[in-house]
Structure 1
């Protein structure tokens, strides 16, 4: 079964300048787990419930080592910066994940499931060229599995 056969075709998206409060309200009202962020140049990023939850969680401070008065980050500096950015952000562009894992509408069900599992993503925008034509979540994969039987 191809992605185009089980993807959700009605893609609800948000512009990069949408306030975060409105994004949260949209997810709640529409009972969806995330939205692509689409700007003038196309797909810019994706926001999931996890990105919104990250705004209120405790920050993990990076591990630092001081050697001869030089502070050296051991690990987690990038993660710390991302967490701060999301907590301080006010628009969709501020909290979105910009490195988006995407699917092609011709991908097979097993390949889509593998991609979602291995990349640890909740949602997968489906592209035709540069255009977002659908979105696939874990629930779509489960429905496709049931329909395929």
Structure 2
């Protein structure tokens, strides 16, 4: 059975929280990839940023619904969520838009688990770790290429 280490791209293109959004867009388009890991100054994986995060910046602003009762306003949605969305939409650096909730796999994770995880969690970029060290990345195109090659 194929494992993550058999499919992953080892020359990982990663960014930091200080990478500008425009530079991120160039990295993704020039390398024809849909996302990259975000690392800290020591090289530790702290998140992932994808094309979806860039596209999010151009969506319409959603104003939370409020109800007025006896001269008081009650928001039906969290004002904190709106604040987070506004920050993400106006983000200038990767630190403003990346997803810190990282879903990653170990290098010995079997192909069927990779495919299931990517499909069920709608993941496009999956960092591959050897214990805590970032050693590769798997994109949906890597899974598709494996299928096409009949492996």
Q: Same fold (TM over 0.5)?
A: yes
Q: 2:86 aligns with which of 84, 87, 100?
A: 84
Tell me the SS of whatever aligns to 1:65: strand
Tell me the SS of whatever aligns to 1:46: strand
1:123: which partner in 2? 125
CA deviations over 1:90-119 (Å, ceiling 9, x no partner): 111111011011111111111011101111
1:98 aligns with 2:100: yes
1:48 aligns with 2:50: yes
1:32: which partner in 2? 33
Number of equivalent positions: 149
Deviates more, 1:72-81 or 1:132-141: 72-81
2:3: which partner in 1? 2
Could you tell me how far apart the structure 2 residues matched to 1:71 and 1:124 are?
42
TM score, norm. by length of structure 1: 0.89
Give unmatched runs, 5+ long, in structure 1.
none
Q: Do the aligned residues in 2 keep the contact of 1:104 with 1:127 (CA within 8 Å)?
A: yes
Q: Do the aligned residues in 2 keep the contact of 1:12 with 1:36 (CA within 8 Å)?
A: yes
Shift of 1:18: 1.1
CA deviations over 1:39-85 (Å, ceiling 9, x no partner): 12511111101110111111222233333444333346555333212
2:23: which partner in 1? 22
Give unmatched runs, 5+ long, in structure 2.
none
CA RMSD after TM alignment: 1.8
Q: Do the aligned residues in 2 keep the contact of 1:23 with 1:92 (CA within 8 Å)?
A: yes
